[in-house]
Amino acid sequence: MTAVAAAEAWLEQDPDDVTRTELRQLIDAAAAGDAAAGAELDDRFGSRLAFGTAGLRGRLGAGPNRMNRVLVAQAAAGLAAFLRERAATDAAPVVVIGYDGRRNSDVFARDSAELIAGAGLRAVLLPRMLPTPVLAFAVRHLGAAAGVMVTASHNPPDDNGYKVYLGGADEGAQIVSPTDAAIAAHIDAVAAGDVRDLPRGRYETADESVVDAYVMATASVAPAPPAARDMSWVYTAMHGVGHETLRRVLDVAGYPQPVVVTAQIEPDGRFPTVAFPNPEEPGAMDLAFETGTAAGAEFVLANDPDADRLAVAVPDGDGDWRQLTGNEVGLLLGWRAARTATTGSLACSLVSSPGLQAVAERYGLGFHATLTGFKWISRAPGLVYGFEEALGYLVNPGTVRDKDGISAAVAMLELIADARGEGRSLADLVDEFRQTFGFFSSGQVSVRVDDVAIIRRVMAALRATPPAAVGAVAVARAEDFREGVDGLPPSDILRLWLADGSRVIVRPSGTEPKLKVYLDVRGDTAAEAAGRLAALDAGARALVATAQA
């Protein structure tokens, strides 16, 4: 079937006036000989957004290679069929559905609820747009068989996504292989038909008690110590849904409310003040820093748009701000967890700082390095704390089996307040960690591409000819995770161990069109670690450039 014929067939079942109009214009332009329109149709109908362990994520628009109401309907019906097949009893499985403030998130959520209910399951829609951690919490709190969160987290404004959690033995964690393949098979079976034939039913809307329970559980993570009373700090929601819930948690926990970045505090799926609504991206925190300077704030906290990540920044002493890396925050929160844990384990993704293992060993706790993503971190045996360097932290695994930027914010507030009570700052805590555990430094080379085929070519080139050195340092050992390493499932990751103990990890991003190169070094002093990292960064950039050529 040609792309035009596939588009005409798609048009017949599309219930969305916006995407119908968009697709009609593309079809007509392609028929009139517009080469760009023809190429766009080929892109939209030449492949399909793959349902995997991250669920679905992609640009909004018509066609199977975009996020839209037809694709979401197929996903919802396929998930319902999977859950019905998996159910151990005749009772209707419960599925809870949440959504954030992105374009069409509410529409996709309601469609999902109606279709899941129409398939004979009990569908429960959260009462309004809420953070992803609230949905992850609700899966366990309601004893649901599964949860769906409609969000693209920190992706660009034109994206949306569909994240799936499982209850029962999975304890509210995100799906992993082979579950993703089983759900995908059901989705493909649904996609062979017409979504207009799918029955729709009446769903329930959860009451506020679900949100209240999340607020109470999260506030109990770290009630405010006395030194928190007059803290001055700034918060941004990055145009997302975090502020309302965080504000309630702060009141219950006893922390002072922050000065907010007014232009970014309300949900707005256009994300008008940032190029990318990701606190890691250059410039995304600029308004927060300006607000912090004007307010004379001691520190800045930021959530990403669905509030499952946390960014932290402190004054640098020269009138500017220094954003802590995800590794720095993750290690501080890991140290906090280790000091109070008597048993259990700490876990982080294998691309995160090896400093967490040093913390675990110091306190006699277990340690697990997992594949990237909290779908893996949350499953670490005996988990008491987990993190990944991409600003994700799991501080309360007893209630939320996913990264949670709100509970992480409360835990960080406690750390800062305790230090404050001793006359110290957050920057002092970072220095104390280094003096205690060693000077770990991490960096990242991130290459964003328009064509993901470039990423595949780079990975293939590095596998075909593994580098003998990165910069001036020889490679002692190269490991290809497609072949299985350290007992982990096969994954598209390359790890290089260098002769001086440094580490380089190369992998494609799981959520964005990026190639990521993670760098980790350790030195006897801060200056030595910084020098090694700078040299490794230059060597890694040259390595990627050569592989791209």
CA–CA gap between residue 118 and residue 463 (Å, rounded): 48
Same structural domain, 82 and 196: yes
Same structural domain, 263 and 392: yes
Task: Tell me the C-alpha to C-alpha distance, in Å, between residue 53 and each of 177, 279, 493.
Answer: 7, 24, 16
Same structural domain, 284 and 369: yes
Structure tokens at 33: 């000989």
The answer to whether 38 touches 30, Cβ cutoff 8 Å, is yes
Same structural domain, 316 and 389: yes
The answer to whether 95 touches 145, Cβ cutoff 8 Å, is yes
Structure tokens at 13: 């079942």
pLDDT at residue 1 tops 70: no
CA–CA gap between residue 341 and residue 385 (Å, rounded): 10
Same structural domain, 82 and 10: no
- Asked whether the CA dihedral 202, 111, 142, 221 is positive or negative, the reply is negative
pLDDT in tens, 371-385: 999 999 999 999 999
**Strand 204-205 to strand 173-174: parallel, antiparallel, or no bridges (unpaired)?**
unpaired
pLDDT in tens, 322-345: 999 999 999 999 999 999 999 999
Per-residue DSSP letters for 340-376? Answer: H-SS-EEEEETTS-THHHHHHHHTT-EEEEE-SSHHH
pLDDT at residue 81 tops 70: yes
Listed in sequence order, the DSSP H helices in 119-229 are 132-141, 179-191, 209-219
pLDDT at 216: 98
Same structural domain, 91 and 156: yes
pLDDT in tens, 304-321: 999 999 999 999 988 899
Same structural domain, 391 and 482: no
Q: Which of 119, 131, 130, 57 is nearest to 94 (CA)?
A: 119
Same structural domain, 185 and 77: yes
CATH of the domain at 106: 3.40.120.10
Query: How many structural domains does the chain have?
Result: 4
For residue 97, the surrounding DSSP H or E stretch is strand 94-99
Same structural domain, 283 and 374: yes
3-state secondary structure (DSSP) of residue 8: helix
Mean pLDDT value across the chain:
95
Q: Is 492 exposed, middle or buried (0-12, 13-18, 19+ CB in 10 A)?
A: middle
- Choosing from 392, 419, 436, the residue where a domain stops is 436
The answer to whether 350 touches 387, Cβ cutoff 8 Å, is no
pLDDT in tens, 236-284: 999 999 999 999 999 999 999 999 999 999 999 999 999 999 999 999 9
- Tokens 């009630």: give the residue: 223
CA–CA gap between residue 422 and residue 438 (Å, rounded): 23
Same structural domain, 281 and 419: yes
CA–CA gap between residue 390 and residue 56 (Å, rounded): 19
3-state secondary structure (DSSP) of residue 523: strand
DSSP state of 48: -
Average pLDDT over residues 394-413: 97
- Tokens 């820093």: give the residue: 289
Same structural domain, 185 and 305: no
The whole domain housing 15 covers: 1-46
pLDDT in tens, 90-142: 789 999 999 999 999 999 999 999 999 999 999 999 999 999 999 999 999 99
Q: Is 89 exposed, middle or buried (0-12, 13-18, 19+ CB in 10 A)?
A: exposed
pLDDT at 427: 93
Q: Phi, psi at residue 26, to the nearest 5°?
A: -65, -45
pLDDT at residue 447 tops 90: no
Average pLDDT over residues 26-32: 93
3-state secondary structure (DSSP) of residue 101: coil
pTM: 0.93
pLDDT at 234: 98
Residues annotated as catalytic are 153
* Cβ neighbours of residue 362 closer than 8 Å, sequence gap 6 or more: 338, 436, 437
pLDDT at 93: 95
Same structural domain, 41 and 56: no
